[in-house]
Amino acid sequence: MQIDIITCLPKLLESPFSDSILKRAQNKGLVKVNIHDLRDYSTNKQKSIDDYAFGGGAGMVMMIEPIDRCITFLKSKTEYDEVIYMSPDGELMGQSLANQLSLKKKLIILCGHYKGVDERVRQHLITKEISIGDYVLSGGELAAAVVADSIIRLLPGVLSDETSALSDSFQDGLIAPPVYSRPAEYKGWKVPDVLLSGHELKIMEWRTEKSLERTKERRPELLKNNC
Ligand code: ADE
């Protein structure tokens, strides 16, 4: 898979991709993440990428030209499945969207800033808009990293225990059951006996029961969506 992220703050995206699972996925050649500095596509001396909004009002708008030049350049090299714009008014990110996007081969993700992008970018250059939640971030970079992480960890070979992505919360529409590790007792706080029993079927049943219990308690709307 290839993910091309367009940003005017490339430094913000350095650390999420240079550690742990996302770094290993790139080292193994399972994903190529390219960060593109939007200012490199500006045509003026100051390398500016934003301007005042027509009609007035507070806040700068990201201009269409550098964005178009960058996307056109990327598209001249290869074909993309989606050109995504990170925006608080996009489609709400969820596990099912992560699953869908993990099946794609090539994605562009555009990070917004200031008052957002010139509307013509959204009309003519973008194929999908994604929000990571009903709150406004200072820019789309952290959101892009969240989306990329949720996709990359699903790629075959990225997680060492391949089944562990399948047992994530939300993967089957439920919240994951509690997990425990050694010691079996700490300060008198005990691990449930069933997990120490070695009885696989009973452990599976216990996990399903806890998953349902937890979902009912914390996210009852997920159970309604499942029916
Ligand atoms: N940019 C600013 N806020 C955002 C959000 N909630 N989701 C995606 N991109 C954003």
- Binding pocket residue ranges, ligand 1, CB within 6 Å: 86-88, 112, 131-133, 135-137, 140, 143
Name which CATH class applies to 2-152.
alpha beta
6, 87, 129: residue to mutate for ligand 1 pocket, most atoms within 8 A of CB: 87
Q: What is the domain partition of the chain in residue ranges?
A: 2-152, 169-225
Length of the chain: 227
| pLDDT bracket for residue 161 (50, 70, 90) | confident
Q: Is the dihedral of CA 101, 102, 104, 108 positive or negative?
A: positive
Nearest-CA neighbor of 62 among 82, 48, 46?
A: 48
Atom of ligand 1 nearest to the CA of 138: 2
Dist. CA 203–CA 199, nearest whole Å: 6
3-state DSSP percent of the chain in helix, strand and coil, to 5: 40, 20, 40
Predicted confidence (pLDDT) per residue in 17-61, tens digit:
999 999 999 999 999 999 999 999 999 999 999 999 999 999 999
Predicted confidence (pLDDT) per residue in 48-95, tens digit:
999 999 999 999 999 999 999 999 999 999 999 999 999 999 999 999
Nearest-CA neighbor of 10 among 41, 35, 47, 27?
A: 35
Dist. CA 3–CA 152, nearest whole Å: 10
- 226: pLDDT strictly greater than 70: no
Between the alpha carbon of residue 219 and those of residues 29, 56, 91, 99, 207, the distances in Å are: 37, 43, 20, 20, 17
- 216: pLDDT strictly greater than 80: yes
- 227: pLDDT strictly greater than 80: no
Dist. CA 96–CA 151, nearest whole Å: 10
Dist. CA 17–CA 33, nearest whole Å: 8
Architecture in CATH of 169-225: Orthogonal Bundle (1.10)
**In angstroms, what is the span from residue 130 Cα to ligand 1's centroid?**
8
Dist. CA 210–CA 216, nearest whole Å: 10
The gap from C-alpha 113 to its chain's centroid, in whole angstroms, comes to 18
Residue 163: predicted pLDDT = 66
Atom of ligand 1 nearest to the CA of 130: 8
Q: Kindly report the number of other CB atoms within 10 A of residue 26's CB atom.
A: 16
- 162: pLDDT strictly greater than 70: no
